[in-house]
Amino acid sequence: MSNISDTPASLGVDRQTFLKPVRQALGRISGQAVPAPPAVDPQLVRLASASEDVVSLFAQRAGEVGMTVCRIKSDELIRTVSELLEKVGAKRVAASVGSLPQAVSLNDSLRRKGVEVVDWRATPGFAEQYGLDAGITDVHAALAETGTLICSSDAGHSRGLSLVPPVHVAIVRQSDILPDMVDYWARLRGIPGRELPSSQAFITGPSKTADIEGILITGVHGPGQVFIVVVEGV
């Protein structure tokens, strides 16, 4: 396994040459045993727990970082999303392919209301997404403690829909809201043998900068507005 890259040796060094000064500084030899790393005690690290009203906490924290949250029942999803799109003047949108949007035939329903819904999978990369007014995605999880959305990449979820369009509408299942990041890692571990997605984006607010004189501006490169629709009871 030591020669894993096809870079000619002159451009870098091989793994063992690279590790030699590391081991010298540490006074270790190759393959020497390593004690267990410091235990991450969930009691200490957890800053929010399931005993709290997790949905309200999530809504509060997501609001604090500048995202707009509404809580609805599942039969209100189409109406809510189309109202949001109307509010921001989004005429051209695309949506991720997930069980929640599909269950309500989101794309077809929006098209019937006169919204142009683009099939982002027709072209590779983000090409189709630069011209969108809004990206609609479901999420893989949400964290109450920090008000965070977790968007992972897979066949139905482009890396771009939560990033490229100026508006991001995130649909969050109530049961996907976890109290703390600790719970997310536990959930990942609970899926043995599952290949990790190439991208897991933890999104905590609209795109922001304070580079010019410390003044907060939203919508620098990513979406300037993030709307979260929490669907209760699912």
Partner 1 sequence: MSSTPSESTTSGHDTGKPVGLSVNGHDLLFPPLPYDIHARADKATADKQLLDFVHVATYRKDVTRRQVTSAAFGEKHGDFRELGAAIKQHTLDHLDHYIEKFVDNATAAGVRVHFAQDAAQANAICLDIARRAGAKLCVKSKSMVTEETQLLPQLEAIGVETVETDLGEFILQLDHDAPSHIVTPMIHKNRQSVARAFERELGAPYTEDPQELTQIARAHLREKYRKADLGISGGNFLVAETGSVVICTNEGNGRFCTSAPRVHVAFVGIEKLVPTFEHLGVMLKLLARTSTGQPLTVYTHVMTGPRRAHEHGGPDEMHVILLDNGRTEILKPETREMLRCIRCGACLNACPVYRKVGGHSYGAVYSGPIGALITPMFRGLANYPDLPNASSLCGACYEACPVKINIPKYLIQLRAEMVSKRITKWSDRLVYRMWARSLGRSWTYRLGGWAQKLFFRWQARVAGTLELGDPYRSRGWLNDLPGPAGGWTSQRDMPTPPAKSFRQWWDEQNRP
Residues in 88-127 at the binding interface with partner 1, rule: CB under 8 A: 120-121, 124-127
Considering only 52, 64, 75, 232, the residue that binds partner 1 (CB under 8 A) is 64
Instruction: Report the SS3 class of residue 115.
Output: coil
* Interface region with partner 1, contact rule CB under 8 A, candidates 71-79, 108-116, 170-178, 188-196: 188-196
Site string for partner 1, 131-170 (x = CB under 8 A): --------------xxxx----xxx-xxxx--x-------
Considering only 49, 55, 65, 88, the residue that binds partner 1 (CB under 8 A) is 65
Amino acid at 18: F
Q: How far is CA 37 from CA 22, 85, 95, 158, in A?
A: 19, 48, 41, 35
Gap between the Cα atoms of 42 and 46, Å rounded: 5
Residue 71: burial class (beta carbons within 10 Å; 0-12, 13-18, 19+): middle
Binding positions for partner 1, 211-230, rule CB under 8 A? 211-217, 219-223
- In the complex with partner 1, the residue whose CB is nearer, 57 or 78, is 57
Taking the complex as a whole, the smallest distance from the CB of residue 112 to partner 1 amounts, in Å, to 26
Taking the complex as a whole, the smallest distance from the CB of residue 5 to partner 1 amounts, in Å, to 5
Residue 113: burial class (beta carbons within 10 Å; 0-12, 13-18, 19+): middle
